[in-house]
């Protein structure tokens, strides 16, 4: 089974801190994605990557950046955390855009 691992299940950070959320997949998938999930808003795409060193903005990239130095790892960076970035963050990967996504278990981030 494909496994997508997010490094932290729960995180509490202070406003203004730089925050790194790590995601690793073990099935050599080229496509990786970061979503945030908020009640009533569903899943919203922050950034995605179809290859190493490649990144594309999703629907809500403001305040975030990403890094994909290796195929298996896709990192989400909050440059200066703010309280409105308190959310559940979900990483996903897929072999091909015709296939289903495999999601990680999520990181629940609280910014205080």
Partner 1 sequence: GQSLEQPSEVTAVEGAIVQINCTYQTSGFYGLSWYQQHDGGAPTFLSYNALDGLEETGRFSSFLSRSDSYGYLLLQELQMKDSASYFCAVRDKNQGGKLIFGQGTELSVKP
Residues in the site for partner 1, rule: CB under 8 A? 33, 35, 40-45, 48, 50, 56, 58-59, 90, 92, 97-106
CB closer to partner 1, 12 vs 54: 54
CB 105 to partner 1: min, Å: 5
8 A C-beta contact, residue 33 and residue 93: yes
CB closer to partner 1, 31 vs 85: 31
CB 50 to partner 1: min, Å: 8
**For residues 58 and 89, what is the distance between their CA atoms, to the nearest angstrom?**
14
CB closer to partner 1, 14 vs 39: 39
CB 80 to partner 1: min, Å: 26
Q: State the virtual CA torsion across 48, 31, 74, 81 in degrees, nearest 10.
A: 20
Q: Which long-range contacts (CB under 8 A, 24 or more apart) does 65-72 make?
A: 66/34, 68/32, 71/28, 71/29, 71/30, 72/24, 72/25, 72/26, 72/28
CB 101 to partner 1: min, Å: 6
């Amino acid at each position: 089974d494909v496994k997508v691992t997010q490094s932290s299940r729960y995180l509490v950070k202070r406003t203004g801190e730089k925050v790194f959320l790590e995601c690793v997949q073990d099935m050599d998938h080229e496509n990786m994605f970061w979503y945030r999930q908020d009640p009533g808003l569903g899943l919203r795409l922050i950034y995605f990557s179809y290859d190493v060193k490649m990144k594309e903005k999703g629907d809500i990239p403001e305040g975030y950046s990403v890094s994909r130095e290796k195929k298996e790892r896709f990192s989400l960076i909050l440059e200066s955390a703010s309280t409105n970035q308190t959310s559940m963050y979900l990483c996903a990967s897929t072999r091909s855009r015709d296939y289903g996504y495999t999601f990680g278990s999520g990181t629940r981030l609280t910014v205080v």
